[in-house]
């Protein structure tokens, strides 16, 4: 064993002779080969990092990172069965309509404290619906964060508008001063994304939008149930969107929502998500108002998922409380290590707790720590992607979106980049455009906090962190 060689003869003999119960960390490396006292042997061997051949803290995988899934039970089953028995799976009419989607919308709007919620079939659909309602199109620049999800870019590009990347700060959300710097005479709005379960500085961004006469769209897909200083995420934007895909805080497998306090935007969203025409109370299409005659996208939500989402919404605060409690416990321990920089959380009480982000001095240390933690057993089963270096975190990083960097187009003719209206709006998207994000991505790792961690799971995570950090820092 290579580590054995690093232990001096003096140390070896001391361990052998005294069998001291308090063995220094450095002396422990590889001592399991030498000491004979079984109790001490066990303690000592546990101190060797698993990545160096020691005993891992944990052998069982951590639960998968699907917050809503862990709280699903017979309630969701009954809700879905009730809809099936009614044989009325379409939201606007049926032989025995249960109005599950309509009730979900009312309950979701009420839980947020906004006037309108429109349920749609996905978060991506919600983004497209909201941008249609807001009138996004060619000749417009729309500010998006360097750290987001590809759906944000897709919604902008599919509308023919030009995405403009703005850098993030230590919240891993938009930096307000970078938003300000990115505004031009062609900017129409800002999409702010509350990343990884914790809200960004939405008040500052709202103020900028107001000053400059821009709309603000809040993407709350990763932050359902979150709040900042007592205000729910999703109430500050002109519109806000949510996702209920399986990785999100509440889920029906797929699903989304568009929320707004504006009657007109709600009507336009409603027309856009459906056939392109608004509907009256009776579900009949309205052709009278040309401003509401849009082009439909076909993102209606069905009754089955509406019913499941009603149950999940009732469980949302239980789900987020569980994650937040686990995360705060782990974070408290990590706060004791000056060599670990934790993501800036603007309001710990409003953090949904879904993710823990750690930043290190440099890229190599982040890599070494992450690999060592994984070797200690801090990993979900093979399906999960939790506990990763942020560099391996895929399409959340702007420059990993090849379609963006290469400006590809569905029509093969360069839409929307080559449109006449966009000629003057040429932007670049390769690595280097957002230096703060580039730097944070390289030095950070991310651990999902499952919503069903036991105290024992948390103990293991903490023990693994302590063990690894005491070696690598
Ligand atoms: C998941 C997600 C979406 C898209 O939601 P889907 O329901 O998967 O289409 C949009 N934005 C962000 C920030 C997301 O995390």
Domain positions in the chain = 17-65+315-393+441-472, 70-313
With bands split at pLDDT 50, 70 and 90, how would you rate the model's confidence at 283? confident
The three-state DSSP-derived secondary structure of 344-371 is: CCCCHHHCCCCEEEEECCCHHHHHHHHH
| Atom from ligand 1 closest to the CA of residue 195 | 13
The tokens describing 407, both together, are: 């400006």
Is 17-65+315-393+441-472 CATH 3.90.1150.10?
yes
With bands split at pLDDT 50, 70 and 90, how would you rate the model's confidence at 38? low
What's the sign of the alpha-carbon dihedral 406, 409, 414, 416?
A: negative
The per-residue pLDDT for 40 is 55
The per-residue pLDDT for 373 is 97
DSSP class of 445: E
Q: Under 8 Å CB-to-CB from 268, ≥6 apart: which residues?
A: 132, 133, 278, 291, 292, 294
The per-residue pLDDT for 37 is 57
Contact 192, 216 (CB under 8 A): yes
| Atom from ligand 1 closest to the CA of residue 254 | 7
Q: Under 8 Å CB-to-CB from 22, ≥6 apart: which residues?
A: none
Active site residues: 248
DSSP string, 375-396: HTT--B-TT---SEEGGGSGGG
The per-residue pLDDT for 266 is 97
Mean pLDDT of 110-124: 98
Is 70-313 CATH 2.60.120.200?
no
Mean pLDDT of 461-469: 97
Instruction: Name the residue at shortest CA distance from atom 2 of ligand 1.
Output: 221
**Degrees (nearest 5) of the Cα angle 4, 10, 14?**
95
Is the predicted pLDDT of residue 26 greater than 60, yes or no?
no
With bands split at pLDDT 50, 70 and 90, how would you rate the model's confidence at 358? very high
The per-residue pLDDT for 271 is 97
With bands split at pLDDT 50, 70 and 90, how would you rate the model's confidence at 188? very high
If one residue of 119, 156, 222 were mutated to test the ligand 1 pocket, choosing by the most ligand atoms within 8 A of its CB, it would be 222
Flag the least confident range among 25-29, 41-45, 81-85, 311-315: 25-29
Phi, psi of 366 (to 5 degrees): -60, -45
**Degrees (nearest 5) of the Cα angle 462, 464, 470?**
100
State how far Cα 150 lies from the chain centre.
Answer: 12
State how far Cα 440 lies from the chain centre.
Answer: 16
């Amino acid at each position: 064993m290579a580590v054995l060689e690093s232990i001096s003869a003096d140390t070896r003999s001391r361990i052998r002779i005294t069998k001291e119960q308090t063995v220094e960390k450095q002396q422990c490396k590889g001592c399991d080969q030498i000491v004979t006292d079984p109790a001490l042997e066990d303690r000592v061997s546990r101190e060797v990092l698993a990545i160096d051949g020691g005993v891992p803290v944990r052998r069982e995988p951590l639960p998968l990172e699907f917050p809503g899934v862990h709280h699903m039970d017979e309630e969701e089953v009954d809700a879905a069965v009730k809809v099936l028995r009614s044989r009325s799976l379409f939201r606007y009419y049926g032989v025995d309509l249960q109005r599950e989607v309509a009730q979900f919308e009312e309950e979701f709007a009420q839980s947020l404290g906004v006037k309108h919620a429109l349920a749609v079939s996905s978060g991506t659909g919600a983004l497209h619906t909201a941008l249609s309602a807001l009138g996004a199109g060619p000749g417009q620049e729309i500010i998006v964060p360097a750290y987001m999800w590809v759906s944000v870019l897709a919604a902008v590009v599919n509308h023919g508008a030009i995405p403009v990347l703005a850098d993030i700060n230590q919240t891993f959300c938009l930096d307000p001063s970078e938003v300000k710097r990115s505004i031009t005479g062609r900017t129409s709005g800002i999409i702010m994304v509350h990343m990884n379960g914790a809200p960004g500085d939405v008040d500052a961004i709202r103020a900028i939008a107001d000053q400059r006469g821009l709309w603000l769209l809040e993407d709350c897909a990763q932050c359902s149930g979150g709040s900042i200083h007592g205000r729910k995420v999703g109430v500050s934007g002109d519109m806000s969107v949510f996702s209920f895909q399986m990785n999100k805080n509440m889920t029906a497998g797929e699903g989304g929502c568009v929320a707004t306090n504006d009657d007109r935007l709600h009507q336009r969203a409603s027309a856009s998500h459906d056939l392109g025409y608004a509907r009256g109370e009776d579900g009949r299409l309205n052709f009278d108002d040309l401003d509401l005659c849009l082009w439909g996208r076909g993102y209606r939500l069905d009754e089955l998922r509406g019913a499941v989402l009603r149950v999940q919404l009732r469980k949302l605060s239980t789900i987020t409380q569980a994650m937040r409690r686990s995360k705060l416990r782990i974070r408290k321990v990590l706060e004791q290590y000056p060599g670990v920089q934790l993501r800036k959380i603007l309001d710990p009480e409003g953090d949904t707790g879904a993710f823990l982000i750690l930043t290190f001095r440099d890229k190599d240390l982040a890599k070494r720590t992450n690999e060592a933690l994984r070797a200690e057993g801090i990993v979900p089963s093979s399906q999960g992607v939790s506990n990763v270096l942020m560099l391996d975190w895929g399409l959340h990083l702007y420059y990993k979106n090849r379609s963006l960097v290469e400006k590809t187009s569905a029509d093969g003719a360069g839409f929307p980049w080559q449109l006449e209206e966009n000629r003057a709006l040429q932007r670049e998207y390769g690595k280097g455009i957002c230096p703060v994000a580039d730097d944070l991505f390289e030095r950070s790792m991310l651990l999902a906090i499952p919503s069903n961690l036991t105290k024992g799971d948390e103990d293991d995570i903490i023990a693994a962190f302590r063990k690894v950090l005491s070696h690598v820092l």
